[in-house]
Amino acid sequence: MAEPPPRTDKGPWNWLLIVPIVLPLCTFLFNADEPRLMGFPLFYWLQLAFILVGVTCTVVVYRMTK
Amino acid sequence: MSGHTTELVVFIALFALVSGMGFVAARWRKPKDIESLDEWGLGGRNFGTWITWFLVGGDLYTAYTFVAVPALVFGAGALGFYAVPYTVVIYPLVFLVLTRLWSVSHVHGFVTPADFVRSRFGSPTLALVVAITGLVATMPYIALQLVGIEAVLQSMGVTGHWPIIVAFAILAAYTYQSGLRAPALIAFVKDTLIYIVILAAVIYIPIKLGGWGNIFDAAAAKFDKSPAPGDGTLLNVGNQLQYITLAFGSALALFLYPHSLTGVLAARNRTVIKRNMSALPAYSFLLGLIALLGYMAIAAGTKPVIGENGKPIGNTVVPVLFDNMFPDWFAGVAYAAIAIGALVPAAIMSIAAANLFTRNIYREYFNKNATDKQEATVSKLVSLVVKVGAVLCILLLDPQFSIDLQLIGGVIILQTLPSVALGLYTRWFHKGGLIAGWALGLAAGMWMLYTIPNPASGKLHFGGSAFSLGELGFDTKTTVYAGVLALAVNLLVAAVVTVALRAAKVADGVDGTRRDEYFADEGDPRVKDLDLAAPH
């Protein structure tokens, strides 16, 4: 069997994963009631929106490092 | 029990159906021989993307989450929403860290985090420390799953402990028989039920309550009237840092639990893990909506069930809300979803704990030449013992105390981070430094938890995980998650002792792993696929 190619999990794309680790922890971005979205205070809808940011970043990194 | 008959019938029917699936699971993706730890405990390590998704999801989002997170939001408001950032932060971390663990584990045949530590740092002692830490932290977690089932039963008016004993006897029997295949198969049903229930809840209940705006306003009005300083629909100066550290610390703790690793190691290759980490946040969205059930309960004027001691049982808020809002048959479906949601993680956790005992204590100290079959037998027996222990926790202790135990469990498991997670990246730490850091981090964590009172239950110690910085002499009301501070102590001590031991030229263990093994993937000749019978 042939030798496997040398591998590493380092790569510039991985730095993108910092975004969904740091962004949800910045309380000053979302600790407010206004503006509301469909009745949801900012605190709740923006944090739910960060889930989408997280998914986008992990999907991009997964695709680029595959 | 009158008035709950329909709920009970639906609940029991669904529960029985799922239990039947658990027993059939042994034949699913038929292994040639389930008499080995790899087969029984890791499902042959050949689960693809979909099964891993359900397995890891079933692991991380437990019945307790579905019951306790909204109960926390009901009681404290915004702070309880920490579950959302916590489950956003965790996936990128797992994506980076656990793919490495997957590779090195598959090259060396590791089944537990302690297996890895033993080889990486050449230290059976450090491995024993990691194994015992994992065992101690996991047991109250299993007990908590029972608290979820108990809350559902209490809401149906079923009191006494016998139903829980029956439920756990069934769970124990099918885990014994089918190993990891049972929870993997049941997780499909569990998730389907939970998605149906939650989607119905977040569409139907807000319509009944006059819209989301009304729900948030009702919650804000309740917290404005309440005298407690920490509550509200937004964070305040005192608990912002607590929110951040709790979300981050919980994320770090979660994937150190042996059961999270079990789900990840059972994946077929690195790509399966990475793809999962991109898809799992679908659960986070669900969890965020579940958390808001707490506010719906406020808006609906839900009153939790009063316990035998005359105090309200906070965890019954969501089941009672379902009882009030849904038709009886659908409330029964919802209750079954929560209870089945408890069985999946409880099964995975007890399997992980059993693997730890067998690999790192039984084989290391009692029977060095254990055969595959002996290992599987010991693991099966230990998984029974662990479940009996969890049931005893519930029967003998106040359920409130088991929640505190879980809190302590998180602080404890975090102390294995330097050996397990940092160990995947660096071999810089000396094994002596890691053991010293673990011991002092643990001591610091216990001391901090000891200082935390809980005014609501009137307890003076071990009343929560929000450590007040005022205890250290600072003039502040700021609180921080005790686990993160304890981890800081741990890391500091580990670093200082490492430098000292190196300076004194004390011998370190030998690293049994090589750098390139951390990136090996399926198809690499070094990656062992021990399940030769499985279809690929």
- Are residues B524 and B104 in contact, defined by beta-carbon separation less than 8 angstroms? no
Nearest to B184 by CA among B379, B351, B33: B351
Q: Which residue of A has its CA nearest to B87?
A: A51
- Return the residue in A58, A59, A60, A66 with the most chain B beta carbons within 10 A, the one to mutate for interface testing: A58
Residue A41 within a domain = yes
Cis preceding linkage at B281, omega within 30? no
Residue B376 DSSP one-character state:
H
Chain B interface includes A32 (CB < 8 A): yes
- Are residues B135 and B353 in contact, defined by beta-carbon separation less than 8 angstroms? yes
Ordered DSSP codes for B91-139: HHHHHHHHHHHHHHHHHHT--SHHHHHHHHHT-HHHHHHHHHHHHHHHH
- Are residues B33 and B190 in contact, defined by beta-carbon separation less than 8 angstroms? no
Question: Distance of alpha carbon B229 from its chain centroid, rounded?
Answer: 29
- Return the residue in B90, B255, B278, B480 with the most chain A beta carbons within 10 A, the one to mutate for interface testing: B278
- Are residues B98 and B273 in contact, defined by beta-carbon separation less than 8 angstroms? yes
CA distance B354 to A37: 47
- Are residues B311 and B293 in contact, defined by beta-carbon separation less than 8 angstroms? no
Ordered DSSP codes for B385-419: HHHHHHHHHHHHS-HHHHHHHHHHHHHHHHTTHHH
Q: How far is CA B293 from CA B262, B341, B417, in A?
A: 31, 17, 33
> What is the distance in angstroms between the Cα of B73 and the nearest Cα belonging to chain A?
12
Q: How many CB pairs under 8 A join A and B?
A: 115
Report CB contact under 8 Å: B212, A40: yes
Amino acid at B442: L
Chain A interface includes B91 (CB < 8 A): yes
Domain range for B389:
5-22+37-406
Chain B interface includes A49 (CB < 8 A): no
Show pLDDT as tens, one digit a residue, over chain B (536 residues).
446 888 888 888 888 888 888 777 766 665 555 556 666 666 655 666 667 777 777 666 777 777 888 888 888 888 889 889 988 898 888 888 888 888 888 888 888 889 899 999 988 899 999 999 998 888 878 888 888 888 888 888 887 778 878 887 888 887 887 777 777 778 778 878 888 888 888 889 999 888 888 899 998 888 888 777 778 888 887 788 888 998 899 888 888 888 888 778 878 888 888 888 877 877 788 888 889 999 999 988 888 888 776 777 778 888 899 989 899 899 899 888 888 888 888 888 888 888 888 888 888 888 788 787 888 888 888 888 888 887 887 777 766 666 666 778 889 999 999 999 999 988 899 999 999 999 999 999 999 988 887 766 667 777 777 888 888 877 777 888 888 999 999 999 999 999 999 998 888 888 878 877 888 777 777 776 533 222 22
Residue B482 within a domain = no
Residue A42 within a domain = yes
Residue A29 within a domain = yes
Beta bridge partners of B312: B306
Residue B243 within a domain = yes
Report CB contact under 8 Å: B216, A41: yes
Interface of B with A in 321-350 (CB under 8 A): none
Residue A37 DSSP one-character state:
B
**Tokens 């079933």 correspond to what residue?**
B58
Chain A interface includes B535 (CB < 8 A): no
Residue A54 within a domain = yes
Q: So what's the pLDDT on residue A51?
A: 92
CA distance B261 to B66: 22
Chain A interface includes B100 (CB < 8 A): yes
Residue A58 within a domain = yes
Beta bridge partners of B481: B466
| Torsions phi, psi for B446 (to 5 deg) | -60, -40
Q: So what's the pLDDT on residue B534?
A: 28
Please give the tally of structural domains in chain B. 1
Q: So what's the pLDDT on residue B15?
A: 84
**Four-CA torsion B27, B31, B36, B40, nearest 10 degrees:** -40
Chain A interface includes B519 (CB < 8 A): yes
Chain A interface includes B288 (CB < 8 A): yes
CA distance B289 to B301: 19
Report CB contact under 8 Å: B92, A54: yes
pLDDT band at A2 (very low <50, low <70, confident <90, very high): very low
Q: How far is CA B159 from CA B15, B126, B311, in A?
A: 18, 44, 15
Q: How far is CA B361 from CA B118, B126, B186, B420, in A?
A: 12, 12, 30, 18
Domain range for A29:
13-65
- A43 neighbourhood in chain B, CB within 8 Å: 78, 81, 233-235
Chain B interface includes A51 (CB < 8 A): yes
* ipTM beyond cut 0.85: yes
CATH code, domain carrying B217: 1.20.1730.10
Amino acid at B409: G
- Are residues B461 and B453 in contact, defined by beta-carbon separation less than 8 angstroms? yes
CA distance B29 to B39: 11
Is it the case that residue A24 has pLDDT exceeding 60?
Answer: yes
- Are residues B223 and B78 in contact, defined by beta-carbon separation less than 8 angstroms? no
Report CB contact under 8 Å: A54, B213: no
Amino acid at A29: L
Residue A36 within a domain = yes
- 3-state SS, one letter per residue, for B328-356: HHHHHHHHHHHHHHHHHHHHHHHHHHHHH
CA distance B322 to B325: 5
Please give the tally of structural domains in chain A. 1
Residue B425 within a domain = no
Report CB contact under 8 Å: A14, B96: yes
- Looking only at the bridges linking them, the beta strands covering B479-481 and B466-468 are antiparallel
Residue B35 DSSP one-character state:
-
Q: Where are the alpha helices (DSSP H) in A1-66?
A: 18-22, 42-65
Beta bridge partners of A37: A40
- Return the residue in B84, B93, B234, B275 with the most chain A beta carbons within 10 A, the one to mutate for interface testing: B234
Chain B interface includes A25 (CB < 8 A): yes
- Are residues B138 and B258 in contact, defined by beta-carbon separation less than 8 angstroms? yes
Residue B530 within a domain = no
Question: Distance of alpha carbon B419 from its chain centroid, rounded?
Answer: 20
CA distance B348 to B148: 16
CA distance A4 to B65: 43
Report CB contact under 8 Å: B84, A48: yes
pTM for this predicted structure: 0.85
Nearest to B288 by CA among A47, A29, A56, A34: A47
> What is the distance in angstroms between the Cα of A17 and the nearest Cα belonging to chain B?
6
Report CB contact under 8 Å: B520, A4: yes
> What is the distance in angstroms between the Cα of A55 and the nearest Cα belonging to chain B?
5
Nearest to B164 by CA among B149, B148, B152, B175: B149
Interface of B with A in 67-86 (CB under 8 A): 78, 81, 84-85
- A34 neighbourhood in chain B, CB within 8 Å: none
- Taken in order A7, A11, A17, A21, the sign of the CA dihedral is positive
Residue B449 within a domain = no
Chain B interface includes A56 (CB < 8 A): no
- 3-state SS, one letter per residue, for B203-230: HHHHHHCCCHHHHHHHHHHHHHHCCCCC
- A8 neighbourhood in chain B, CB within 8 Å: 519
Q: So what's the pLDDT on residue B30?
A: 59
